[in-house]
Amino acid sequence: MAQLPGTVAWGIIRLSEKLGQGKWGKMGAGEERVELVRVRERLALPAGRLPQRTLVLLCGLPGTGKSYLASQLAARVPLVVVSSDQVRHCIFPEPQHTGEEHAVVHGTCRALAEELLNEGYSVLVDATNLRHRHRERYYRLAEACGARLMIVQTTASPEVVRARLEGRKEGLLEDFGSRADWEVYRMYAGQLEPIRRPHRVVDTSGDITPAVEEIVSTLLGTPVPAPLRARVRLILNPAAGQSYRVADLDETLGFLVRHGWEVSLWETRQPREAMDLARRAAAEGIDLVIAVGGDGTVNEVVNGLAGTPTALAVLPFGSGNVWAREQGLPLEPAEAARVLVQGQIRSVDVGLAGKRYFLLMAGVGFDAAVVHALSEEGRQPLWPFGTILKGFSLALNFTGKETVITLDDQRQVTGETLLVVIGNTRLYGGLVQITTHASMDDGLLDICVFRGKGGFSQLSQYALATVLQLQERTSGVDYYRAREVTITSETPLYVQADGEPIGTTPMTFRNIPRALRVLVPPYAPRHLFTQN
């Protein structure tokens, strides 16, 4: 019998109890249990743990290098590898790759992954996972277990795949338990469905060392130095709040090229185009996308890069530049570039508000009403005075609304609410700290709730307390931490993410652990990260 990761045996036993038919019924569940337990006893689980429980989901056609990539990762990171090929070989010594066979094998893999995640292990599932509905079950599993999800698709040219499969058949290459041949590859090729979620693509036709290093760094949460050589794409928003000077931009580009980076520049011409451009850059395998603009541009780029290995950097050309201020980056673009080339790439969490990612924070209620009003006016106010003036005018008549705030599907908080700030970072509006305990890699969102009936007097009191950093000691202000928060209200409340209007309540906000790689200065504030 082929060797399996230790708890594969137990997963198969559990599944056999549920099935009570087919192979198990014919062979006898009792005999199968004894054999599988014996296999499990000979194998050990990883002694260590990742900083965050993680489900790594491999996807790809046979022969595209999934098992080889899994072996390289497992040698570096405490992962339990659940291999569908090994499970299949154990249950079906002469596999036929039928629908019933697939159901048994993949049901076993999912049952095992669930058990391991609930025990605190991190799991890598090595399977084709070609269809969306099969992957969706793992997505739900990761969410139910509170685990971070990383999706990795392996690819290789058909010529390379055929050579590998023939080499395995002749015993010239390690088969990692797979019995798939070229005909199986061709059969599966027509079943491959696009992956709709952010994911990494690893072409195993060549050296996969850089991809392995990037994934290991992301899983462990360890920073890596900025690359000496990199393909870099600048995405420029010429409509950013601070009009850029061509001479400054030319100087910055020239410096990056002299540093050794291969640089290209794309300009946006319409709203949300930066998201599409960032997504295209990631699909091209660009190493680093630099958002040249304000926080709105940064947010769009985040929504194009989340879940990919392409890292985000920023050259501040906007008005607020909150992300630049948060990381201590100089606000002069040329100076910022000189700092970034000496910086570190870190894997950080992002928030998800409905279907919109945010890097910094989301707001519900008063601040989102201000953002919405300014957006309707179609202008960029002089920062921060225009925004403050708009806030004063709205505060005169703004009233609290009855809301229900549900934290991690367990605790409900009700009452009249003026403002909820949901922070992934600490700095709010570039001016003050509201979510004062937030870290960007702890797997949690920090939630600060300002309660009351409203009116200018109460909002002014809260504003003063926040400026003095006394909000957590102020009556009517509550502070929570959670992986997920859902906000509903008697009447819809506006919602903003990173200063952009994105809709109204009801809305659910979730932490997406380590979903983004960012390039930050080497001296970035350590309180932003739990892994130093």
Q: For residues 252-277, b (16+ Cβ closer than 10 Å) or e, as one string? A: bbebbeebebebeebebeeeebbbeb
Q: Which of 28-37, 122-131, 264-273, 486-495 has the lowest mean pLDDT?
A: 28-37
The whole-angstrom separation of Cα 55 and Cα 151 is 8
Q: List strand residue ranges (DSSP E) for 457-521, in order.
A: 477-482, 484-489, 494-497, 500-504, 507-520
Q: 349 lies in a domain? A: no
Question: In terms of Cα–Cα distance, which of 112, 126, 113, 124 is closest to 13?
Answer: 112
Q: Quick check: 425 and 439 in contact, CB under 8 A? A: no
Give the model confidence (pLDDT) of 497-509 as tens digits.
Answer: 999 999 999 999 9
Number of independent structural domains in the chain: 3
259 with 206, same domain?
no
CATH of the domain at 272: 3.40.50.10330
Report d(CA 479, CA 491) in Å as an integer: 23
By percentage, how much of the chain surpasses pLDDT 70?
Answer: 86
Same domain (yes/no): 237, 298: yes
pLDDT tens digits, 461-471: 998 999 899 99
Higher confidence at residue 393 or residue 142?
142
The range of the structural domain enclosing residue 57 comes to 8-220
Residue 522 lies in a domain: no
Same domain, 321 and 385: no
pLDDT at 13 over 50: no
Please state, in angstroms and rounded to a whole number, the distance separating the CA atoms of residues 70 and 68: 5
* pLDDT, average across residues 161-184: 74
Q: Do residues 46 and 121 lie in contact, with contact meaning Cβ atoms separated by under 8 Å?
A: yes
Q: What pLDDT is recorded for position 310?
A: 95
pLDDT given at position 102: 80
Place of tokens 């006016």: 377
366 and 510 together in one domain: yes
Among 87, 84, 67, 68, CA closest to 16: 87
Say which range, 56-70, 253-267, 390-404, has the weakest mean pLDDT.
390-404
Contacts of 14 (CB under 8 A, 6+ apart): 111, 115
Last residue of a domain, one of 281, 308, 342: 342
Q: Please, which residues have CB within 8 angstroms of residue 410's CB and are 6 or more apart in sequence?
A: none
pLDDT score of 530 more than 90:
no
Q: What is the mean pLDDT of residues 387-407?
A: 84
- CATH number of the domain that 141 lies in? 3.40.50.300
- Same domain for 81 and 40, yes or no, is yes
- Is the residue at 273 inside a domain? yes
CA angle 232, 305, 376 (to 5 degrees): 110
Is the predicted pLDDT of residue 172 greater than 60, yes or no? no
Same domain, 395 and 259: no
233 and 205, same structural domain? no
> Could you report how far apart the first and last alpha carbons of the chain are, in Å?
44
Question: Same domain for 317 and 428?
Answer: no
> How far from the centroid of its chain's Cα atoms is residue 250's Cα?
33
435-493 confidence digits (pLDDT tens)? 999 999 999 999 999 999 988 888 889 989 998 999 989 999 999 999 999 999 999 99
Give a yes or no: residue 468 inside a domain: yes
Are 211 and 230 contained in the same domain? no
Instruction: Identify whether 48 is part of a domain.
Output: yes
* Residue 79 burial by Cβ neighbours in a 10 Å radius (0-12, 13-18, 19+): buried
- C-alpha distances out from residue 183 to 68, 137, 161, 187, 390, Å: 21, 27, 12, 6, 66
Mean pLDDT, range 42-49, rounded to an integer: 71
Q: What is the pTM of this model?
A: 0.82
Residues 509, 439 share a domain: yes
pLDDT exceeds 70 at position 199: yes
- Per-residue pLDDT of 304-361, as tens digits, reads 999 899 999 999 987 789 999 999 999 998 999 999 999 999 999 999 999 999 999 9
- How much is the mean pLDDT over the chain? 85
Q: What is the DSSP string of 55-81?
A: EEEEE--TTSSHHHHHHHHHTTS--EE
Q: What is the pLDDT of residue 379?
A: 55
| Residue the block writes with tokens 């090595």 | 126
The residue ranking higher by pLDDT, 241 or 14, is 241
What are the structure tokens assigned to 379, written together? 């202008």
Asked if 264 and 306 sit in the same domain, the reply is yes
Instruction: For residue 398, give the CATH number of its domain.
Output: 2.60.200.40
The reply to whether 308 falls in a domain is yes
**Where among 342, 369, 386 does a domain terminate?**
342
- Is 525 a member of any domain? no
The residue written with tokens 């992954």 in the block is 113
- Residue 32's pLDDT band, with cuts at 50, 70 and 90, is very low
Three-state secondary-structure class, residue 216:
helix
pLDDT of residue 51: 85
The whole-number average pLDDT for the span 221-227 is 91
Portion of the chain with pLDDT greater than 90, in percent? 58
Residue owning tokens 């795949």: 161
> Do 43 and 187 sit in the same domain of this protein?
yes
In a domain? residue 348: no
Mean pLDDT for 41-70 is 86
- Token digits of residue 287: 């190493």
- 89-93 mean pLDDT: 74
